Amino acid sequence: MVVQGKANLYISFNQAYEWDTFDGQAILEGAGDIVCELACPVSRYGK
């Protein structure tokens, strides 16, 4: 929905792992959007 422009925000209360979000983040950032966590301004991989 976010990529289609139908949503500006996606909230999940479940813990996500890096491999759950990396592909979607790459697509969104390629389109000029940002992906972040509430506790951290930028999602980091390879912690």
pLDDT for 18: 78
- List Cα–Cα distances, 32 to 1, 12, 20, 35, 41, in angstroms: 16, 22, 20, 10, 16
Spell out where 1-47 has E strands: none
Domains in the chain: boundaries: 1-47
Q: What is the pLDDT of residues 1-47, one digit of tens each?
A: 566 667 666 777 777 777 887 888 888 889 888 777 776 656 666 75
pLDDT attached to residue 1: 56
Res 42: pLDDT: 61
β-strand partners of 41: none
CB-CB contact of 4 with 35 (8 Å): no
The reported pLDDT for the residue numbered 41 is: 58
pTM tops 0.75 = no
